[in-house]
Structure 1
Amino acid sequence: MKEKLYTIPVNDAFDEDSECPLCSMYKALEIEAIDFTMGPSYMEDDIREATSRLGFCEKHLVKMYDKQNRLGLALILKTQMDKVAKDIERLSQSGAKITAASLFKRKTDNSGVVEHLNALEDSCFVCDKINNTFDRYVATIFHLYHHEEAFRNKFKASKGFCIKHYRMLYDAAPNHLNGEELNDFLFNTNTLFLENMKRVSDDLEWFINKFDYRYADEPWKNAKDALPRAMQKTNSII
């Protein structure tokens, strides 16, 4: 492959006792990206330019706040707010007008203010940093599946995937595999997904039963942590 392969983190994630190895990979990258953003890098001009231009999603801004680097976050947000204000001032004074709606046409903003803010709302410096590497992790999964029997066995012994990452693997597979190998991958991925969704669903059912007085004296089995595992399966929360 022309792109760098990340065999160690991918193998490590599949070695974990995880409900979704891809969630584990993403979580590790997320921690690394937050630490980078809130570390000394925020004093570098090119990083501050990027954070001001891209901003942050709500999820990652909260995680940045949790790092307790109040001064660093204040400096990052001050620069971003100044840039947003400057951009909006420039766009709103450009002379373009908002065209009123008519019977057959929608109201349009020719100044570009709404378009600019929509783009900002959809961007995040931390997300971009994570995804740039995560995409290569996904490509490495297929590379290892194609080249290494040991990884294929490890893949088939995993606990499946969350809905989001199952969809990602299913969608990406034809770009990396073909023929019988593609069919084999999709079969194994589907089997892992369905069997392990049922496993967690059954654990969740027993968790619910334990709130019924009739089951009060019954053992918990594997249901004590069923709720957070179900949250990971359904919404990639880890």
Structure 2
Amino acid sequence: MNDLKEKLYTIPVTDAFQADCECPLCSMYHELETQSIEYTMGPSYMEDDTRAETDKVGFCSHHIKQMYASQNRLGITLILDTHMNEVIKNLERLSKNGKPATGSFFKKPAYTDVKSYVDYLEANCFVCNRIRNTFDRYIATIFYLYKTEGTFRDTFRNSKGFCTKHYGMLYQMAGSNLSGNLLNEFINDLNRLYLENMKRVKEDLEWFRDKFDYRNQDAPWKNSRDAVPRSILKINSVMLDES
């Protein structure tokens, strides 16, 4: 990353780590997902470049449900209509051993037969791709800030840890972004944060369970009232609406 990009992504990363959240990366991903759904179902779906991409890649099952829930029935109808035209056109040609018209969007054909085209559709999603581009930069910013700013290292160490998925992601990527003593320091911080906070949430979950025992009916709830959604976030990387 150059200096401009580093500064551009610093604020959302810092804000997420300063927030009261069980996984800052889940928080950042959730915010990007919300913004991407709003963008897709907003005026952008009438723009030629956006429609050209949604026509080609479509959407995963998770995000098409969120798009449908946005209540923009006309928007999703137009998006689905032209995407279905693209799918029908390509599969008609491929099923006859023809070649799809990929255009200049691809440097080389992304699919050459029915199976590779269906696999391509299954592996792609306009919303996922849009999120991934920014989320990857957020991850790079975490390592950059940890390496260059002592204040962020303190903020990192005082966070509530991470979900299992994002713990593994940071662990795997650390060696490509840090080295020497700083890498060892990061891994030690990461391991401690993950394990200490997983155990903390597990204790809250156990007390939530024990509160259903009649012998504990008059005991305080402590920090267990929202233990179930917090446990789901830690294990499944899902942020539930607790309202």
> Would you say same fold, with TM above 0.5?
yes
The secondary structure found in structure 2 opposite 1:158 is coil
Task: Name which of 14, 39, 42 aligns with 1:39.
Answer: 42
Specify the code of the residue in structure 1 equivalent to 2:235: T
The aligned residue for residue 119 of structure 1 is 120
- Aligned-residue sequence identity (percent) comes to 58
The aligned residue for residue 22 of structure 1 is 25
Specify the code of the residue in structure 2 equivalent to 1:38: M
The aligned residue for residue 134 of structure 2 is 133
The aligned residue for residue 100 of structure 1 is none
The secondary structure found in structure 1 opposite 2:187 is helix
Specify the code of the residue in structure 2 equivalent to 1:226: A
Residue 18 of structure 2 contacts residue 155 of structure 2 at CA under 8 Å; is this kept in 1?
Answer: yes
Superposition CA RMSD, Å:
1.5
The aligned residue for residue 195 of structure 1 is 196
Shift of 1:128: 0.3
The secondary structure found in structure 2 opposite 1:201 is helix
The aligned residue for residue 54 of structure 1 is 57
Structure whose CA Rg is larger: 1
The secondary structure found in structure 2 opposite 1:237 is coil
**Structure 2 unmatched runs, 5+:** 100-111
**Structure 1 unmatched runs, 5+:** 97-110
- Cα deviation per residue 1:152-197 (whole Å; 9 max; x = unaligned)? 0000000000001001100111111000000000000000000000
Q: Distance in 2 between matches of 1:227 and 1:29?
A: 24
Shift of 1:95: 6.8
The aligned residue for residue 165 of structure 1 is 166
Specify the code of the residue in structure 1 equivalent to 2:115: V
Shift of 1:213: 1.6
Q: Distance in 2 between matches of 1:225 and 1:155?
A: 23
Residue 164 of structure 2 contacts residue 237 of structure 2 at CA under 8 Å; is this kept in 1?
Answer: yes
Shift of 1:215: 1.6
Specify the code of the residue in structure 1 equivalent to 2:57: L
Shift of 1:2: 2.8
Residue 54 of structure 2 contacts residue 83 of structure 2 at CA under 8 Å; is this kept in 1?
Answer: yes
The alignment covers a number of residue pairs equal to 225
What's the TM-score once normalised by structure 2's chain length? Answer: 0.90
Residue 97 of structure 2 contacts residue 113 of structure 2 at CA under 8 Å; is this kept in 1?
Answer: no
Q: Any runs of at least 4 consecutive aligned residues in structure 1 with deviations exceeding 2 A, and if so which? A: none
The secondary structure found in structure 1 opposite 2:188 is helix
